[in-house]
Structures are given as structure tokens and as C-alpha cells.
Amino acid sequence: MTTALEGGSSHLGYLEETSTRDAQRKLLRVAWLQHRGGCLALLVVFVAFVFAIVVERSRVDASYAAFVAGGCVGRQLVPGTCNTAALALGGQSTFTTIGIALSALPLLVGVFVGAPLVSREIESGTFRFAWTQATSRSRLVLATLGALAGGATVMAVVLGLVFGGWYAHVYDVVLTPLDSPWQATPFVTTWWLLPAWTVSALVLGAFLGTLIRRTVAAMAATAALVGGLIVAAHVVLPELLHVGASTARFKSEVGNMVLGTINSPPQPGWHVPPGSWLVRSWMTGPGGRVLDRSASVHVENALSTRTAASGDHWLAAHHVSFWVSYQPPGHFWMFQGVEGVVVLAVAALCVMATVCLLKRRAIA
């Protein structure tokens, strides 16, 4: 809005008087002008991901037609035509590659967008211009951070949906444990966790940039810290999955199962709900006593030479039970929610720390 100043200031000509409502829009415009290069680079990455996923999904759709034509739907997959078709349908290798690349998206955003956000301003000296205008430096940085976080969120949500949709398509249709949403890569690339990690990496990078004040050093620190956190989350998740796990008693399927930590999807026909995630298994003997390793191996050996029916009979006769703890599919979004909230809480702390640093720390 442009208005003429009244009274004594009229000789100043026309000054722009900005309302509070306009101020936000103007800050977004500044953010765009300052960071459009980075935004466009992110857009290219986004389009490349979408293109790769869409192309691969088309290939999967074609394979699915062959799968259906071969009469494989609903049949248990054993080595042969249907199994080969199912594997082709799964597009396992491409899925894994794209998934891993996608899980690195937060790292890219944190390193190349977040870390230079403030550090480049300090290093190039432009902070002496930007932070001496009539807009507080924390407000300016927050507006920029908010705009970038908004864009990154939209991008990550879309990628998570497109990628997750592909995954769901394969998993639901083929009904085989080709992959599971509980596995590390699909788990962190959902429409919820991917944007949570991306935004968190962005603000963590911005915080480190404000703290370190050197662009390259901040980028390196962000890469190390965000990368470390992602790896740590991968390592910690299986441990957390013990929390709230359900238990099921198995019969002779024990012959196909690993004792101890499992961390894998169930096979068709096992007595857990489809979409569950097996966490741990153990055996109990008479009186409910947990069998030690050697006793368990003895049971496994005994079952390996028996059919399913005789195996069940043998287990009953020796009062041996086989137990599995698992996370039912209903718990999936609970764990997603918990991890997402923790990651976003870290992001919120980083934002607060960045604002504190900007307000309190002498820059020049």
C-alpha cells in the first residue's frame, strides 16, 4: 500500500506504509528472492523423485497384469512362475534404491538448504544489511525458515504419499512379504515421517549454521548430525518395537522361524494379523519356563524332521510352546506418531535455540 504522508512529512514524497497483514506477505517475498535458487534445486529433486516413482509404478502395473493373467492372485508363492512374477511385480531392487534415496532427502535439505540459511548471511556479510532493517532478525529468519519448511513439507508429503502408495499397491495386491511398512526404509518414508524428518533436518541445519557461522563447516556438521540421527533412529526403532508388543503362540511353524530377535514380516498362514511385524520369539517348556538356547536348538532339530501335524503333536507331548511377540498393524501409526512427535519436538527446540542465538549472540 502506498500512501502520502501527512503534515510535516509531506516533503518526503511517497513512503510505503505497511500494515502488519502485509508484512508477512512481504517477508515471504524476501524469502523467495533470497532462496529461490535453493527452492528451484529442491523442485528439480522433487520432480526427479516423482518421475522415478511414477515410471517404476507403471512398470509394476504392467507386471501386475502378467501376475493376474498367470492366475497367481491369492496363491501361496513357491519357487516357480508365480514367485518370479511376484518378485518382478515387487520391483524390489528399484523400490529399495528409491526408498534409500528418499530417506536421504532430509539430509539433503538440512545440508544444502538449512545449514547455509544463516551461516551464508553471516559469512558474506549481508547480515549487516538484512539485520539492520526495520524487521527483527529473528522474525526475518523465522519467516524464511517457515516458508522453506512449508515448501519442504508439501514436497515430502507428496513424495511420501506417492512412494507409500506404490508400496501399498505391491504389498496389498501380491499378499506376500516382499516388504513391510515396518522395515526401516518404508518406515521413515511415509507421508508423515518423511516431512517430519525433512523439516527437522532443515531447522537443525539452520541452528548449526547460526551457531557455527561458517557455511561449509555448518554443512558438514549438519550432514554428520542429521545422518547420525537417522542412523540412530534406524538402530533404536527395533528396540522400541518391544514396547506394547502382542504375543501369539505358534505351532510347528517354528521350523521356519528364527529364535530371538526377528524383525521381519510374517509369512502367509502364520497366526498373526496380516501386516504385523514380528519382533521376538522364544520357547517355553513345562510350567511356562523359558527354554535356554541349547534346549531351543534341540526342539528345532526335533521338529525339522517332522511334518506339521506330527510336529504339533511332538510339541504338545513335550509341553513345549513357541511364542512370538509382534506389533499388530494397528500399532504402525502409533509408532509413526511417536517418532514424528519426537522428531518435530527436536525441530521446535532447534527453532527456539536459533532464535535465542540470533537475539543474544553478537555477530560482528
Partner 1 sequence: MNVLETFGLGVRYGQTWAVSDCTLAIPEGRIVALAGSNGAGKTTLLHCAVGLTEATCGTVGLLGDLPAGSLDALERIAFVAQDAPLYRHLSVNEMVEVAANLNRRFDRPFASARLRALDIPVKRRVGKLSGGQQAQLALTLALARHPHLLMLDEPLARLDPVARHDVMALVMTMAAEEGVSVVFSSHVVSELERVADYLVLMAQGRLQLVGPIEDILAEHTVLNGPADEAERVGEHLCVVHAEKAARRVQLLVRHDRPIETPIGWEVDAPSLDELVLAYLRDPSLVGRSGPVAVAATAAGELAQ
- Please identify, using beta-carbon distances, which residue of 11 and 260 lies nearer to partner 1: 11
10 scored as a contact of partner 1 (CB under 8 A): no
The residue from 7, 74, 125, 260 that contacts partner 1 (CB under 8 A) is 125
Site for partner 1 (CB under 8 A): how many residues? Answer: 37
Q: Please state, in angstroms and rounded to a whole number, the distance separating the CA atoms of residues 285 and 296.
A: 9
Q: Please state, in angstroms and rounded to a whole number, the distance separating the CA atoms of residues 324 and 341.
A: 29
Maximum pairwise Cα distance, the chain? 104
- Please identify, using beta-carbon distances, which residue of 93 and 132 lies nearer to partner 1: 132
30 scored as a contact of partner 1 (CB under 8 A): yes
Query: Degrees (nearest 5) of the Cα angle 96, 98, 103?
Result: 90
Q: Are the C-beta atoms of 171 and 181 separated by less than 8 Å? A: yes
- Please identify, using beta-carbon distances, which residue of 24 and 58 lies nearer to partner 1: 24
Q: Are the C-beta atoms of 325 and 279 separated by less than 8 Å? A: yes
1 scored as a contact of partner 1 (CB under 8 A): no
The stretch near partner 1 (CB under 8 A) out of 97-105, 120-128, 276-284, 343-351 is: 120-128
- Please identify, using beta-carbon distances, which residue of 231 and 356 lies nearer to partner 1: 356
E-only strand ranges, the chain: 2-4, 14-16, 246-250, 260-264, 277-284, 321-327
296 scored as a contact of partner 1 (CB under 8 A): no
| Percentages (nearest 5) of helix, strand, coil residues in the chain | 70, 10, 20
Q: Which amino acid is it at 81?
A: T
The residue from 58, 133, 247, 301 that contacts partner 1 (CB under 8 A) is 133
305 scored as a contact of partner 1 (CB under 8 A): no
The stretch near partner 1 (CB under 8 A) out of 22-30, 100-108, 190-198, 235-243 is: 22-30
The residue from 83, 84, 96, 135 that contacts partner 1 (CB under 8 A) is 135
Cell (9 digits) for 152:
519442504
How many C-beta neighbours within 10 Å does residue 209 have? 28
Give residues in contact with partner 1 (CB under 8 A). 2, 9, 11-18, 23, 26-27, 29-30, 33-34, 37, 124-136, 140, 360-364
